[in-house]
Structure 1
Amino acid sequence: MEDAVQGKATPLRAVSRDAEACQEIPQEPMFDLIELFFFAYRDFVGDADRLLLRYNFGRAHHRVLYFVDRRPGLAVAELLDLLKITKQSLSRVLKDLLDQNYLEQKLGLSDRRQRLLYPTDKGRALALDLAQLQSRRFARALESLPAGTREQTTAFLAAIRDSAPGETP
């Protein structure tokens, strides 16, 4: 395996003797990738953090707004499951977004106990501003790299994450 930063080969060892379950992991931690990923994430979310400060919002507000904007009509229970958070941790964030008219909540048609979330025009506008800000960072990074890098990056990030049923990469 090629070391991304230093160009050195990283020795690999097998984790399991079972052919189907055999995965190779490096003998040494991939400090170069860990560090690059940490700093890339810091800068990626930092762009949005600076904009969110104007609204007295944080990253939790951004995540909730992002997913409700991308999936209008998302049930609160589905949002909790998607973000892997508790009702308590969502409560304050959701209250802020509802009280300040970035989201609206409606009762489910078939199940009146269900609470469905929708972005307002104001919420869609903020979600779009945040997405455009972060998309510019992606575009800058991709423009200097070879063709096909976006697809490879998408596959790489999808392979890193633990996806749950119903989640899209």
Structure 2
Amino acid sequence: MTDVKSTNNPLFLREEELRQAIELLFFAYRDFTAGADQVLKDYDFGRAHHRVIHFVGRNEGMTVSELLDILKITKQSLNRVLSNLIKRGFVEQRQGEEDRRQRCLFLTEEGRKLEQKVSRVQRELVANAFREAGGDAVAGYRKVLTGLIDEEQRDRVMRRVTKP
């Protein structure tokens, strides 16, 4: 890798700058998930439960197949977490209206409360960081995160993320 000074030129990053960025991602993720983990711990849930609750909450009525596509996990892994959430009354599963073979997912009232409780901590953290960074930095952050998404998945992910 070329060792060129990168003063404000993101096209020429040194190895050390890339390592620092990766390390910052690790620390940011640790702190981003810490508050949510604490809330989830009270329910004896983990991050997999959080991801299911988040995406079902953002996409009410989504199918199990769509959720599998988003999470990129095995059916067995999803089934373990989803069964737990259904059994405990946070998610409900209904037959598809058009295709009765489909299993459509919805948060229950308890599920919505939990999703709000968990995401509130993260929304506040992100909002504070965005306020500190300013508008240009927020736009740059979104570009960087978008660039980290697999190129073949990027358009589909962005359509999902930016839907009203």
In the TM superposition, 1:44-59 aligns within 5 A as 44-59=32-47
Q: 2:79 aligns with which of 91, 101, 112?
A: 91
CA–CA distance in structure 1, aligned partners of residues 104 and 42 of structure 2: 27
CA–CA distance in structure 1, aligned partners of residues 130 and 88 of structure 2: 36
Query: Gapped runs of 5+ residues in structure 1?
Result: 1-7, 11-23
Match of 2:64 in 1: 76
RMSD of Structure 2 on Structure 1 (CA): 2.1
User: Residues 14-41 of structure 1: CA distance to partner in whole angstroms, max 9, x if unpaired?
Assistant: xxxxxxxxxx675636111011111000
Larger Rg, first or second structure (1 or 2): 1
- Structure with greater helix percent: 2
User: Residues 80-125 of structure 1: CA distance to partner in whole angstroms, max 9, x if unpaired?
Assistant: 0110011100111001110111110001112111100001111111
Question: Structure 2-normalised TM-score?
Answer: 0.83
Query: Gapped runs of 5+ residues in structure 2?
Result: none
Question: Structure 1-normalised TM-score?
Answer: 0.81
In the TM superposition, 1:2-151 aligns within 5 A as 9-10=5-6, 28=15, 30-151=18-139
Amino-acid identity (%): 42
CA–CA distance in structure 1, aligned partners of residues 91 and 130 of structure 2: 33
Q: SS in structure 1 opposite 2:92?
A: strand
Name the count of aligned residue pairs. Answer: 150
Q: SS in structure 1 opposite 2:15?
A: coil
Structure with bigger RCO (C-alpha 8 Å, 6+ apart): 2
Give the direction of change, closer, same or farther, for the CA distance of 1:166–1:147 in structure 2 (3 Å limit).
Answer: closer
CA–CA distance in structure 2, aligned partners of residues 66 and 105 of structure 1: 15
CA–CA distance in structure 1, aligned partners of residues 94 and 54 of structure 2: 18
Give 1:9's aligned amino acid.
Answer: K
What is the CA-CA distance between 1:47 and the residue it aligns to?
1.3
Contact preservation (8 Å) 2:5, 2:13: no
